[in-house]
Amino acid sequence: MNPTELERRALSAVSAAATSDELERARVEYLGRKSELKLALRQVRDRETGMTLNALRERLERAIAEREAELERAELDRRLAEERVDVTMPGEPVPRGHLHLITQIRREVEDIFLGLGYTVVDGREVETTHYNFDALNFPPGHPSRSPLMTLFLDEETVLRTETSPSQIRTMEAQEPPVYMVSLGRVYRRDTPDATHTPIFHQVEGLAVDEGITLGDLLGTLDYLLKALFGEDRSTDFRIHHFPFTEPSVEAYVSCHLCDGSGCTVCRHSGWIEVGGSGMVDPNLFDVVGYDKERYTGFAFGWGLERIAVLRHGIPDLRELWRNDPRLLEQF
Amino acid sequence: MRAPLSWLREYVTVDASTEELARRLSVSALEVDRIIDVGVADIDGNLDRFLVGRVLEVVPHPNADRLRVCQVDVGEGDARQIVCGAWNFDAGATVAVALPGALLPTLDVPLDERELRGRLSRGMILAEDEVGLGPDHAGIMLLPDTLEPGTPLVDVLPIREQVLDVTPTINRVDLLSMVGLAREVAALLDGELHPPEPEDPEVVDREPVEVVVEDPEGCPRYIGRVFRDVSVGPSPQWLRSRLHLAGMRSISNVVDVTNYVMLVYGSPLHAFDRSKLSGGRIVVRRARPGEALRTLDGVLRELDPRDLLITDGEQPVALAAIMGGEESEVGTETTEVLLEAANFEPLGILRSSERHALRTEGSNRWEKGVDPHLAEPAAVLASRLIVDLSGARLTGHVDVHSGLPERPVVRFRPTRASRLIGMEVAEAEQRALLTRFGFDVSPEWEVTVPTWRARDVTREVDVIEEVARAVLDRVPHTMPLRRHVRGRLTKEQRLRRVVEDVLVGAGLSEAYTWSLVASDPRPDAIRLPDPMSADQAVLRTTIVPGLVAAARTALDVGADAVRLFEIARVYLPSGERLPEERWRVAGVVRGGYATVKGVLETLYGALHLELRVERGEHPLLHPGKAAVTAAGWLGELHPTLLEGTWGAFELDLADLFAAVPERVVYEDVLTYPAVRQDIAVVVDEEVEVGALVDAAREAGGTLVREARVFDVYRGEQVGTGQKSVAIHLAFQSPERTLTDEEAAELRERIVAALAERFGARLRS
């Protein structure tokens, strides 16, 4: 037997095997019990021949194992190639619910202010006229005090018309500094239409501390507006009048549709009114017993639905209460 | 209020475009809703084609009965021939003419020269509606004969006009006037103010004017003036045009004067036909029971004893400050006029206006508190105009008041203003601003408030506002220092978010439903005494009915796998003034009891709570498939409420969260393996599987890590009235590996306990 010749034939048979069957046949032929090599090994008498033949056996075994792995891999590749799916077929549905758009905005606003170090306060919805009007410095003839605008339970009890009573209750409950937002339902005697619903949501903000300035109010609202409507928006602030703030300021953001050049959404002004704010009227500090010389503060109260309308283009506020799944699932 | 710019600029000289002016006003004074362009377009020399003309000759059109042919001098030397259909003028009239090529706001194409029934017409004699100066098309505009032909019409009439549509806030009634707006413009844009300074006509043939104010609180001032030889007729074109541009209708010269002067000063006036006042006197008093008045709008109004009236001593002649009476209205036959320039207390007027559901230009101002000092200049200007326009003589004057209010004096610290604003505003600038707004500032910063701001500005902070608004768009944007803050949610707020997220993850969508409902299961639920509608009359004590309605909406639009939840308040009668407001979470899901229970098991699991239920009852639930928990209830919705099978739940969040652990403490379930065993026991049908599990846990003690029912079998093999319950048990110790013997013993103990308490027998 010529080991070199044997090795050449064996390796050539192994590499020529195209299936695992052919490979097995080659293994039996060259490494099987009756193979030339095995017979030769059995007859080995001298150490040197034994080492040569064993080395040859090991080389052949390795070559067969390698070829086997190659064939298996090729087999797997062939099978996988046949297992193609239409990747554009839909997946198996996993049920998913949706947070209401107003909840999403509520959380967003809460998170913005949590990030600024404010707490979130849960106010109450049924309020006394003391908290809803008197303590907030509403003058006796103010339109909001009329049963034409406000839902009364009795002469001294109302469904809160704004989230502002939470200002008084918060200040009564703690000493300054106060940094809080309070979000929730408010009630007005508004006939439902595309832009009014008798129940809607507001966010109230209140900061009372030493040295709070009008600039702090504008800076905070500028931050809020850009967080809600985009960093590229411009903001604008204009004087207004509310009973519980002095001075009072109305906040505007540049129109997201026309970018300030004028369209029907912004009534060709380039600006969209977002909500009211101002420096806390010192009369409120008198009510809650804060030192009005030492402390100043700002407050704001904005409608969450208004943010939804401006940011998401909701055309009719009543739809936010109809719970049509086709709408709920959009957000 | 609508403020025509040409009128405003008559009172204030300022170097600013309309847009700049609107911008400054809107930042620092009042809302500018829009700028309205009115009249003739100012393009390609269009305004030059509108001229004053004098009619030299008028002859009938030979070929048309309704037309006339005019020769009109428009300052060109030769007269122009213009064919005209109006008949309210003759030769010598001074008129407004549009030349060929002119663009009129009412026409789509330029005016051209053309023949009308065979006669060339080289222009048009204008009626007021053709250039946006009024509604009238009955005749052409007649101009003062003092005007030279060829004068540009735009110099004479506001044919090219911009009008500011403005809405002052409730505290700035002073801005519901042209003078007030002009003052604001002058102050904010450093303009020069020229308010009207009318010369009061002399009183001739003086006669007494009797005015008695029985209610000086309701009417702190009453100026009455009498005019004789009044000739009531149409107003001159300038007056008609100004009223029209300001959004008011021209009625007659005398009535127009009262409206015009109201727009000038913001202090409304009224003119009575004095001959209709029996006794010719004025008595101001509250209404008497049973009195009635037919107001100018033709409505007969029953008066309330709280209504303030102007009477003639016998009959009411006006609902004070709101609307005059029809009987004493000034008409064409009127020759004697009593002019009222008064002042009224705001709140009473507001209440009367609400009671009678009657809002007028007058009440809109009075209810906000008009400066009583304004009555006098208003009376003077109105007198001047009545005399000038109606040829009347002023024959009497009286001014009834018991002293006008003092101007408030406020101690003001400019440093405090700068501190509150957050920007250093130089003292000189503060002083200049306040002075321009009409405040008198002493060297020691004692600030005396102008009469027209006396109601609004009474404290230092109110004066600070005056400075702040003027510099508002220069204020730097800063953030509060926030030395002491704690920005985090409370436990309950955090857990509410967990509940929302878990339910959303479980496939439920959040609905928002009304807190006000038509009816509520609780008979003592709080009912609104005067609801907006029967649908929103009761403050709800449960949320589920709202969700049932929402589910129905979803079904109606074709959704099938409907799963809804809501987190909201309910309002429980408390016996106190205010109800107890509780947060609840409620859900309505398609599917039966097991579906809704599965949802709640997921929720409880997420909160590290075990859901334990007992059989219960609830009016909204199927009586056999209702359960209660410590925090609320769950079950299958009563089949009468919604077609199909539905689960529902409602939990009180405070009760639910009370049991949520502050923190979860590590328990060693890793070191030693659990031994798992399943048993099946046969029990009577009535035995609740929950009771079996509880008993198993009790019997097995702390080593029972898990005891869970995983199958219930009913059938021949177990016999009628019985069921086989398969329970999965896992035993585990945190301290050692349990031996097979220990596990077998635990199992024995459990089987024995179930046998003893429920007659359970082990099923092989």
Model pLDDT for residues A246-262, shown as the tens digit of each residue: 999 999 998 877 777 77
The average pLDDT across A134-155 equals 92
Our CA-based measurement puts residue A86 at a distance from the nearest CA of chain B, in whole angstroms, of 27
pLDDT at A43: 87
CA triple B355-B357-B361, angle to 5 deg: 115
B654 part of contact set with chain A, CB < 8 Å = no
A118 part of contact set with chain B, CB < 8 Å = yes
Fold classification of B675-762 (topology level): Alpha-Beta Plaits (3.30.70)
B420 part of contact set with chain A, CB < 8 Å = yes
| Cβ contacts of B478 on chain A, cutoff 8 Å | 213, 215-216, 218-219
Q: Could you give the residue range(s) of every CATH 2.40.50.140 domain in chain B?
A: 46-158
What is the C-alpha separation between B87 and B102, in angstroms, rounded? Answer: 23
Minimal CA–CA distance to B244: which of B261, B256, B233?
B256
Q: What separation in angstroms does the CA of B562 have from each of A102, B279, B547?
A: 20, 78, 11
pLDDT at B733: 93
Residues B212-238 pLDDT 10s: 999 999 999 999 999 999 999 999 999
The residue type found at B447 is: V
A127 part of contact set with chain B, CB < 8 Å = yes
List the single residue in A115, A223, A323 with the smallest CB-CB distance to B511: A323
Judged by CB atoms closer than 8 Å, whether chains meet at B481 and A211 is answered as yes
Minimal CA–CA distance to B12: which of B225, B138, B164, B217?
B164
Residue A300 has pLDDT above 80, yes or no: yes
Fold classification of B2-40+162-188 (topology level): Phenylalanyl-tRNA Synthetase; Chain B, domain 1 (3.30.56)
Judged by CB atoms closer than 8 Å, whether chains meet at A113 and B354 is answered as no
Cα nearest neighbour of A282 on chain B: B461
A93 part of contact set with chain B, CB < 8 Å = no
Minimal CA–CA distance to A273: which of A253, A248, A259, A257?
A253
ipTM of the complex: 0.89
Judged by CB atoms closer than 8 Å, whether chains meet at A102 and B475 is answered as no
- Specify the length of chain A in residues: 331
Q: What separation in angstroms does the CA of B508 have from each of A94, A127, B366, B545?
A: 12, 32, 55, 17
pLDDT at A238: 97
Beta bridge partners, A178, equal A208
A58 part of contact set with chain B, CB < 8 Å = no
pLDDT at B763: 84
The answer to whether A177 touches A184, Cβ cutoff 8 Å, is: no
Q: What separation in angstroms does the CA of A105 have from each of A102, B326, B584?
A: 5, 55, 20
Judged by CB atoms closer than 8 Å, whether chains meet at A268 and B564 is answered as no
pLDDT at B288: 95
Contacts of A291 (CB under 8 A, 6+ apart): A285
pLDDT at A151: 97
The residue type found at B199 is: E
Residue A86 has pLDDT above 80, yes or no: yes
List the single residue in B172, B487, B508 with the smallest CB-CB distance to A97: B508
Mapping DSSP to helix (H, G, I), strand (E, B) and coil, where does residue B685 land?
A: coil
The answer to whether B282 touches B262, Cβ cutoff 8 Å, is: no
Report chain A's mean pLDDT, rounded to a whole number. Answer: 92
pLDDT at A268: 76
pLDDT at B137: 87
Cα nearest neighbour of B470 on chain A: A239
Query: What tokens does B723 get?
Result: 């069921």
Phi and psi, residue B760, nearest 5°: -70, 140
What is the C-alpha separation between A63 and A61, in angstroms, rounded? Answer: 5
Contacts of A229 (CB under 8 A, 6+ apart): A253, A256, A310, A311
Work out the burial of residue A9: count CB atoms within 10 Å of its CB; fewer than 13 is exposed, 13-18 middle, 19 or more buried.
middle
CA triple B183-B188-B191, angle to 5 deg: 65
Mapping DSSP to helix (H, G, I), strand (E, B) and coil, where does residue B311 land?
A: strand
Residue found by looking up tokens 């639930």 in the block: B621
Domain boundaries defined on chain A: 3-82, 102-328
CATH for B409-474, options being 1.10.101.10, 3.40.640.10, 3.30.420.40, 3.30.56.10: 3.30.56.10
Judged by CB atoms closer than 8 Å, whether chains meet at A323 and B553 is answered as yes
Judged by CB atoms closer than 8 Å, whether chains meet at B490 and A120 is answered as yes
Cα nearest neighbour of A206 on chain B: B480
Residue B440: its H or E element? strand B440-441
Judged by CB atoms closer than 8 Å, whether chains meet at A191 and B532 is answered as yes
Architecture of the CATH domain A102-328: 2-Layer Sandwich (3.30)
Residue A1 has pLDDT above 80, yes or no: no
CATH number given to B211-401: 3.50.40.10
Mapping DSSP to helix (H, G, I), strand (E, B) and coil, where does residue A302 land?
A: strand
List the single residue in B423, B475, B504 with the smallest CB-CB distance to A99: B504
> Number of A:B CB contacts under 8 A?
230
The CB-based long-range contact list for A313-316 (8 Å cut-off, 24+ gap) reads A314/A101, A315/A194, A316/A194
Beta bridge partners, B441, equal B447
| pLDDT band, very low/low/confident/very high, at A329 (cuts 50, 70, 90) | confident
The answer to whether A308 touches A320, Cβ cutoff 8 Å, is: yes
Residues 170-199 of A with CB under 8 A from B: 177, 179, 185, 187, 189, 191, 198-199
Taking 50 as the pLDDT cut, the residues of chain B under it are none
Judged by CB atoms closer than 8 Å, whether chains meet at A98 and B493 is answered as no
B354 part of contact set with chain A, CB < 8 Å = yes
Minimal CA–CA distance to A185: which of A198, A199, A197, A204?
A199
The answer to whether A101 touches A308, Cβ cutoff 8 Å, is: yes
The average pLDDT across A192-200 equals 92
| pLDDT band, very low/low/confident/very high, at A45 (cuts 50, 70, 90) | confident
| Cβ contacts of B563 on chain A, cutoff 8 Å | 95, 97
What is the C-alpha separation between B489 and A121, in angstroms, rounded? Answer: 9
Which of the residue ranges A126-130, A311-315, B267-271 would you say has the lowest mean pLDDT?
A311-315
What is the residue-wise DSSP string for A120-180? E----SEEEHHHHTGGGT--TT-GGGSTTTS-EEETTEEE-SSSTHHHHHHHHHSPSPEEE
| CA distance from start to end of chain A | 82
A9 part of contact set with chain B, CB < 8 Å = no
Mapping DSSP to helix (H, G, I), strand (E, B) and coil, where does residue B608 land?
A: coil
- Say whether domain B491-658 belongs to CATH 3.30.930.10: yes
The average pLDDT across A200-227 equals 97
Architecture of the CATH domain B46-158: Beta Barrel (2.40)
| Cβ contacts of A250 on chain B, cutoff 8 Å | 31
pLDDT at A256: 75
Phi and psi, residue B354, nearest 5°: -65, -45
